Amino acid sequence: MQMHAMVLEQFGGRLTATVRTVPEPGPGEVLVRVVACGAGLTLESVRLGHLGGSTPRIMGHEFSGTVAAPGARVDGWHEGDPVTGSFYLFCGNCVMCASGRETLCINNKGNIGAKIDGAFAEYVVVPARNLVSIPEGVALREAGVIADAVATSYHIARERARIVPGQRVAVIGAGGGVGIHMLQVAKAFGAFVIAVERDPAKLLRLQEFAVDAIVDWLRNKLK
C-alpha cells in the first residue's frame, strides 16, 4: 500500500511531496494513521541537521491520529484508538524514564522525524511506549500539540517557575505558539495571568483567552 509524504531529501533543502510505501510496524511498534501534524521551530533544526539523523527523512513530530495496526508484542493498543505521543526516542528502562523524565533519558536515541521517519505522511510507525491515549472531549486534530508545545509550557509551570495558586505570572510574547499555551497552563495552575505582547493582531487575539490582564509592551513600559 502506498502513502503520500513530505520528504527532506538533504539537510538544508526543501520538503518534497512524494509517494512512499506504508511502513510496517516491528515488534514493540505501532502504525499510526496520521490525522494532523504540527509545524514549529524545531522543524528548522531538523531541516538543518542540528538534531542529527540522516536524509532522506520524513519530518514531523507533533502528531495525532488513530492506531492503524499494532506490531508484535504490543499490548494495550487497538485499531482505531486515538493517540498522540512523545517524539523523544527514550528507552523506558533507565532511572530517568522510571521517574517520569523521559526527555532526559540516559539512552535517548534521538527524535521522531529526525532519527526515524516522522508524521508528515499519511502513516507513521512509532514505538508503542511513546503513545498517549487522547481522552474523549479533546479534538483529535488539535491533540498533536499536547506532547510538545503544551508539554513545554507544563514543564515550565511545574518544574521551572513552580507556579502556585494566587501568584502573578507574566507571559512575555504571549501571542506566540508556546505563549498561548503558557497562558492557559498558568491559569490552570491558579495564577493571576498577565499576557504581554506587542503585535497588534496577537493582542487582539489574546482577548479570546481567559487571562486576567493584557499588556501592550510598546505602549506600556515594563519594570
Domain ranges of the chain: 2-144, 161-216
CA distance 18 to 1: 14
CA distance 1 to 148: 30
Q: Give CA angle at 135 (58, 35), nearest 5°.
A: 30
The torsion of the CA quartet 172, 177, 180, 184, rounded to 10 degrees, works out to -120
Q: pLDDT-derived band of residue 145, with 50, 70 and 90 as boundaries?
A: confident
Q: pLDDT-derived band of residue 19, with 50, 70 and 90 as boundaries?
A: very high
Find out whether 197 and 175 touch, Cβ atoms under 8 Å: yes
Residue 88, CA atoms < 13 Å, CB-side half-sphere? 17
Residue range 57-85: average pLDDT? Answer: 97
Q: How confident is the model at residue 147, as a pLDDT?
A: 84
Find out whether 197 and 206 touch, Cβ atoms under 8 Å: yes
Q: How confident is the model at residue 222, as a pLDDT?
A: 60
Report percent pLDDT > 70 for the chain.
99
CA distance 183 to 186: 5
Fold of 2-144: Quinone Oxidoreductase; Chain A, domain 1 (3.90.180)
Q: How confident is the model at residue 69, as a pLDDT?
A: 98
Q: Is the pLDDT of residue 220 over 90?
A: no
> pTM for this structure?
0.87
Which of 158, 11, 159, 127 is CA-nearest to residue 61?
127
- What the block records as the C-alpha cell of 31 is 502504525
Q: pLDDT-derived band of residue 40, with 50, 70 and 90 as boundaries?
A: confident
Architecture label for domain 161-216: 3-Layer(aba) Sandwich (3.40)
